[in-house]
Amino acid sequence: MGKASVARIQRIRKQKIDEQKLIEGIINGNKTDLSKAITYIESNASKHDQLVQKIIEACLPKANKSIRIGITGVPGVGKSTFIEAFGMYLTQLGKKVAVLAVDPTSSISKGSILGDKTRMEELVKNPNAFIRPTASGSSLGGVARKTRESVILCEAAGYDVILIETVGVGQSETIVHSMTDFFLLLKLAGAGDELQGIKRGIIEMADAIIINKADGNNKKAAQKAKVEFNRALHLYPEKKSQWKPKVKLCSALHNEGIEEVWKMLSTYFAATKENEFFYLNRKEQNKFWLLQSIDDQLKRNFYKSEVIKKALEEQLEKIDNNSTTPFEAANYLLGLKANLDK
């Protein structure tokens, strides 16, 4: 046996050992191994696909034991401050908290600030908390493509509460809503945000509206906004969960209203588990993510073809020259791919 063959066998053996070690580390709550595994999940390299699949399969039996909370709001509403205050409160109750914070990626530089860890100075040092900022990339609405798989790993690592923070723009709320048990919308008062917030889509998705920064001179405006949002909520039909969305005041900076938010959440989870909506919702989400995964895989397979890449450039040039339409170009490329797959 040649040296190259021996070296290859040694690499395979080492990889298998590392695989098992990584899985054991995740299940034992090792943050370094959890971070490493999530990095593999976020990788677009096909060489990591098999490894990721094995990790997820090994973690699945240990998953689905947490509660998943989606948190959204416009930039500047104080999401990071709220999450830190809320996370610290939960750890004081003996909970283990994982925060998956999705950062916006620049469409120009392709860079991401990834500043959530610096904004959550106390929580990041907490031994019972795990914070993972992720660049959103080109995913719909700024939600990281592999966030749901990361949730499974965090659950397997023993985290009781998973907080998923969205960038608060585009359609990220829709995607986060499809992977969480409770959807929390943070709003501001006195910033022209009240009427902007009364939109059918986002209000229908919200299980609660938290008016943040309800302190000092802004307290009166916050109380007024609470009345307005309560009125707006009465205009919408009853949710399948039979839960009536609540409006709460909060000052994350001064740790006011945090306990009330958790009490509200506890009431919600008790009620939806009793009427079985909690479990039904999880099943519906699994179906949604099956279809989403198929869409993602089809798109990935389409664009990785070298023939398609070349043909795509040609069709784009034809569109620029007005010699074809986007619809004709799309049909041509799809037909080309179908012939290549035969």
Whether the predicted pLDDT of 125 surpasses 80: yes
Q: Same structural domain for residues 53 and 81?
A: no
User: Is residue 304 in a domain?
Assistant: yes
At residue 169, the pLDDT reads: 58
Q: Which of 80, 122, 87, 78 is nearest to 102 (CA)?
A: 80
Q: Which helix (H) or strand (E) holds 96?
A: none
For residues 20 and 69, the model is more confident at 69
User: Is residue 76 in a domain?
Assistant: yes
Q: Which helix (H) or strand (E) holds 37?
A: helix 31-42
Phi-psi region of 208 (alpha: psi -120 to 50; beta: other; left: phi over 0): beta
Q: Same structural domain for residues 47 and 181?
A: no
The boundaries of the domain holding residue 305 are: 289-341
pLDDT in tens, 38-55: 998 888 777 888 888 899
Over the chain, what is the mean pLDDT?
A: 84
User: Is residue 282 in a domain?
Assistant: no
User: Is residue 333 in a domain?
Assistant: yes
Range with lowest mean pLDDT among 111-120, 172-181, 222-231, 324-333: 111-120
Q: Same structural domain for residues 245 and 224?
A: yes
pTM of the shown model: 0.84
Beta-carbon count within 10 A of 165 CB: 26
Length of the chain: 342
User: Is residue 283 in a domain?
Assistant: no
Local confidence band at 252 (pLDDT 50, 70, 90 cut-offs) = very high
For residues 137 and 253, the model is more confident at 253
For residues 269 and 138, the model is more confident at 269
Q: Which long-range contacts (CB under 8 A, 24 or more apart) does 272-281 make?
A: 272/181, 272/241, 272/243, 275/241, 275/242, 277/240, 277/241, 277/242, 278/181, 281/181, 281/241
Q: Same structural domain for residues 213 and 238?
A: yes
Helix (H, G, I), strand (E, B) or coil at 327: helix
Whether the predicted pLDDT of 143 surpasses 60: no
User: Is residue 281 in a domain?
Assistant: no
Range with lowest mean pLDDT among 63-72, 79-88, 252-261, 285-294: 285-294
CATH for 12: 1.20.5
Tell me if 56 sits within 8 A of 164, measured CB to CB.
no
DSSP 216-283: GGGHHHHHHHHHHHHHHHTTSPPPTT----EEEE-BGGGTBSHHHHHHHHHHHHHHHHHTTHHHHHHH
Task: Tell which of 32, 59, 86 closes a domain.
Answer: 59
User: Is residue 300 in a domain?
Assistant: yes
Local confidence band at 153 (pLDDT 50, 70, 90 cut-offs) = very high
Local confidence band at 106 (pLDDT 50, 70, 90 cut-offs) = very low
At residue 339, the pLDDT reads: 92
What is the rounded distance in angstroms from the CA atom of residue 327 to the CA atom of residue 95? Answer: 52
Q: Same structural domain for residues 164 and 231?
A: yes
What is the rounded distance in angstroms from the CA atom of residue 202 to the CA atom of residue 256? Answer: 25
Phi–psi pair at 95, nearest 5 degrees:
-85, 155
Whether the predicted pLDDT of 120 surpasses 90: no
The number of domains in the chain is 3
What is the rounded distance in angstroms from the CA atom of residue 115 to the CA atom of residue 80? Answer: 10
Percent of the chain predicted with pLDDT > 90: 53
CATH for 320: 1.10.287
Whether the predicted pLDDT of 15 surpasses 60: no
User: Is residue 249 in a domain?
Assistant: yes
Q: Same structural domain for residues 257 and 132?
A: yes
At residue 198, the pLDDT reads: 47
Task: Tell which of 37, 59, 81 closes a domain.
Answer: 59
Q: Same structural domain for residues 53 and 175?
A: no
Task: Tell which of 11, 26, 59 closes a domain.
Answer: 59
Q: Same structural domain for residues 221 and 316?
A: no
At residue 57, the pLDDT reads: 93
Q: What is the largest CA-CA distance in the chain?
A: 80
CATH for 198: 3.40.50.300
At residue 229, the pLDDT reads: 87
Enumerate residues 6+ apart whose C-beta is below 8 A from 47: none
